[in-house]
Chain A
Amino acid sequence: MTFLKNRLVWPVAMLALLLLCALIFSDGFFDIRIQDGHLFGTPINILRASAPLVLVAVGMTLVISTGGIDLSVGSVMAVSGAMACLIIGDLANQNSVGGVTLAVVAAIALSLVLGLWNGFLVAVLGIQPIIATLILMVAGRGLAQLITSGQIINVQSSPYKVIGTGFVLGLPVSVLIAVAVLVIAALLTRRTALGLLLESVGGSPVASRLAGIQARRLTIMVYVVSAACAGIAGLIYSSNVSSADGNNAGNLIELDAILAVVIGGTALTGGRFSLAGTALGAILIATLDTTAQAVGIPPETTLVFKAVVVVVLCLAQSPAFRARLFRRPAARPAARAEVPA
C-alpha cells in the first residue's frame, strides 16, 4: 500500500480513469492524424487547451511554495492581452513582425510591473498574499477595460496569431511555450538551490531570513514570475481569438490554477511543491472539460462533474480522510481538532 502514499497516484489514477471513459464512450478519441504537416486530434486539443492553464499554474506553484497565493493571474492575463492588442491595433502594418514583437515585449513588461506590485505588497508591506493580490484581481480587470476603452479590440495580425494557433515542427506553438516554461522552471528549481530556498521560505520566512536567505527578494521574485507566466498565458488566449476582451480573458482561471496546484500535491500552506504534479493537475482539468464533451455529457453538467472530481481527489489526498477510511492506527490522534460535542 506504500504506493498509495505518493501524492501523484491519485491524479494519475483520475486521469487514466477519464481517458478510459473517453476511450470506451467516444469513438476516435485517440486518433491523432497529420494534416498539412501539423498534428491534429483530440489529445492535441487537450494539450492546446491546457497550455494557458499550465503556464498560469506553474507560476502559481512557485507562489504557493512560498506560502503565498496569487489571485490576480486572471486579471493580469486580461491586461497583457489588452496591451498587446492595443499596440498591434495601432500599427500601420499589423503583419510586421517587429511591431508584434514590440507589442509582446510591452505586454510582458507590463505584466512584470504588475507582479512587482504584488510582490511589493506582500514582501515589503507585509500584507497577507490573498488580500494583496485581491486588490489587483479587482482593479486589474478595470485596468484592462481602461486600456481597451471598454471595447473588444479585434486584430488581424498573422504573426500575432502564431502564438496561439501556430505550429512549429508539427507541434502547436502554445504547447511548446508552456513546455519550455515548465522545463525552465523545473531546471531552475530542481537543478539549483532555488527550489530548496523557496520551500524554506514557505516553511518559515523568519527562520529562512535568519539562516541568511534573502526571503524578501525571493518572495518578490515569485510574484513577478507568476505575473510573467500569466502575461504569456494572456497573450496565448488573446492570440487564439485574435482579440482582447477585458471581461472574459482569464475569467476564473485563478481558481482552476489553484485547483491544478492542489491536485498536483502542493500544499496551500507552502513549504513543498511539485511542478510535475501541477502540470498533471492542469492537464487533468483540461481533460475533464474535453472528455465531458467527448463522452457526451452536456456542457451544463461539466461544473457538477468538476465538483465531484475535486471533492473525490481532495478527500483521497486528505490524510485525515484516509486515516478514517483505512482505520490506520498511524493517524496522529493529537493532530485531530475534534472536541466531543
Chain B
Amino acid sequence: MIDVSTTPATNKSGPAAGRRRTYRPNAQYIPVLATLTLLIVMYTLGAVNYENFTHPSVILNLFTDNAFLMVVAVGMTFVILTGGIDLSVGAVIALTSTVAATLLQAGWPAGVVIPTVLLVGGVLGLGMGAVIHFFKVEPFIATLAGMFLARGVALLIDQNSIPITNGFWTGLAEARIVFEPGVYISAMALVALAVVAVAAVVLAWSRFGRNVYAIGGNADSALLMGLPVGRTRIGVYTLSGFCAALGGLIYSITTTSGYAGHGTGTELDAIAAVVIGGVLLTGGSGYVLGTVLGVLVLGMINTIVNFQSLNSWWARMAIGVLLFAFIVLQRLVTRRAK
C-alpha cells in the first residue's frame, strides 16, 4: 500500500537542486535565510555600535528572556501551518500561571501542579479544536472565545498577583548552567530549546507533521487523500494549548508569580515571530527553525532598543516595519515560485 502521508505536495526540492551548478537556495528556504541574515546584520550593527554588545551573555540572555515566547510560538507554528490561528495563547499563560500559583499556595506539591496545569492548557486547546472542527466555527472566533474564557477564569480565581514561594519553583528560577561568571544559560531556556528540538523532529519526520503540512496546503485534498484531517486539526490546537500552558509555567517560574494580567499581547508577539520566521499565514509552508529565528529577531530588537536606551514604542515600530518587509518578501518569493 502506498503511504500517501509521506509525500507532501509542498516539497519541491530534489531534481532541480542537483542540476544547477551555481548554488541557488530552494524558494522555501529564502524567508528563513532572510531572517537569519537579518539576525546576523542586527547583531553586527549592535556589535559595531555598542560597547559590551559582543559579550556572550547578550546572546544567552536572548534565549533566557524569550524562553516562554519560544515555546508558545512553536505551538502557534503548528496551528498556523494548518492555516488556522490561536488567539488564546496569551490568556492561557495568564490562566496557567494563576492556577499554578493558587495550587502551590494551597500546599499542593510541584510534582502534581505541573501535570495539572499542562492538562488544563491541553484540554482547553482540545475543546477549541473540537469546536472548530465539528461545528465549523472560525478558528479566529473559537480561539477568541477561548481567550475570553481563559482570562476570565484567571480573573475569577484571583485578580491580584500571587507570589510563588514553593522551593521547587524558586529553585528552577535560579537553576542555570554557568559557563563563567555572568555568562549562563537558564534551565528554562534549555526547556524551550528541548521543546523546539522535539517540535522540529515531529514536524519534519512524523506522520502527524506531514499531515499538518498537507492540511495547510489544501484541506480538501488532504481529506480526499484519506488523511485524518479532523484528528490532526484538533491535535494542533491541543498542542498549541499545551505549549501555551508550558509557556505559562515558564513565565510563572521566571517571574515566580501568577497573575491574570500575565501574557497580555503574547499572541501578537507569537504570530509576529512566526511570520518573521517565514511561515506562511495561509498555511502549508514554514519551519520551526524559522519561528525560533523570528523569536530571536524580536528579542534582538528589544536588546538594541535597550542598548540605545530608546523608548519601547520604537521597538513596536521596528517590529511593524520588519513584519512589512518580511511579508513583502514572502509575497515576492511565492509569486516567483509560481
Q: Identify the A interface with B (CB < 8 A).
A: 69, 121, 125-128, 130-132, 134-143, 145-146, 150, 246, 255, 258-259, 262, 268, 300-308, 310-311, 314-315, 318-321, 324, 337-339, 341
Contact = CB atoms under 8 A, between A and B. Distances in A.
Q: List the 10 closest A-B pairs by CB distance, nearest first.
A: A139-B320, A303-B152, A142-B316, A304-B152, A307-B149, A307-B148, A145-B313, A142-B317, A300-B155, A142-B313
B320 to A, nearest CB: 2
In this complex, the member of A131, A258, A306, A324 whose beta carbon has the largest number of chain B beta carbons within 10 angstroms is: A131
A320 B134 contact: yes
B156 A136 contact: no
Contacts of A268: 138, 140-141
Contacts of B147: 255
A304 B271 contact: no
Given A300-B155, A310-B141, A142 B314 contact: yes
For the residues of B in contact with A, the DSSP-based class is helix
B141 A130 contact: no
B320 A142 contact: yes
A307 B91 CA distance: 12
A172 B193 CA distance: 56
B159 A300 contact: yes
For the residues of A in contact with B, the DSSP-based class is helix
Given A131-B281, A262-B141, A314-B131, 8 more contacts: A300-B156, A301-B156, A304-B152, A307-B145, A311-B131, A311-B145, A315-B137, A341-B228
A195 B63 CA distance: 51
Interface in B130-187: 131, 133-138, 140-142, 144-149, 151-153, 155-156, 159
Interface stretch (B1-9, B49-57, B247-255, B324-332): B324-332
Interface residues of B, number: 52
A131 B324 CA distance: 9
B231 A341 contact: yes
B323 A135 contact: yes
A259 B152 contact: no
A309 B3 CA distance: 44
Contact of B316 (A141, A304, A318): A141
A259 B144 contact: yes
A146 B148 contact: no
Nearest to B280: A128
Contacts of B316: 138-139, 141-142, 145
Contacts of A150: 311, 313
B281 A132 contact: no
A143 B311 CA distance: 12
Given A304-B153, A320-B135, A136 B320 contact: yes
B331 A127 contact: yes
Contacts of B85: 130
A126 B331 contact: yes
A37 to B, nearest CB: 39
Contact of A307 (B133, B134, B152): B152
B226 interface: yes
B197 interface: no
Contacts of A303: 148-149, 151-152, 155
Contacts of B219: 337
A128 B282 contact: yes
B231 A339 contact: yes
A128 B281 contact: yes
Interface in B267-311: 268, 271-272, 275, 281-282, 311
A135 B148 contact: no
21 contacts: A125-B328, A125-B331, A131-B275, A134-B268, A136-B320, A139-B323, A142-B320, A143-B317, A146-B313, A268-B138, A306-B152, A310-B141, A311-B145, A319-B136, A337-B133, A337-B219, A337-B229, A339-B223, A339-B230, A339-B231, A341-B231
B331 to A, nearest CB: 6
A314 to B, nearest CB: 5
A315 B282 CA distance: 25
Interface in B92-147: 131, 133-138, 140-142, 144-147
B321 interface: yes
Contacts of B153: 304
Contact of A337 (B87, B145, B149, B223): B223
B319 interface: yes
A304 B272 contact: no
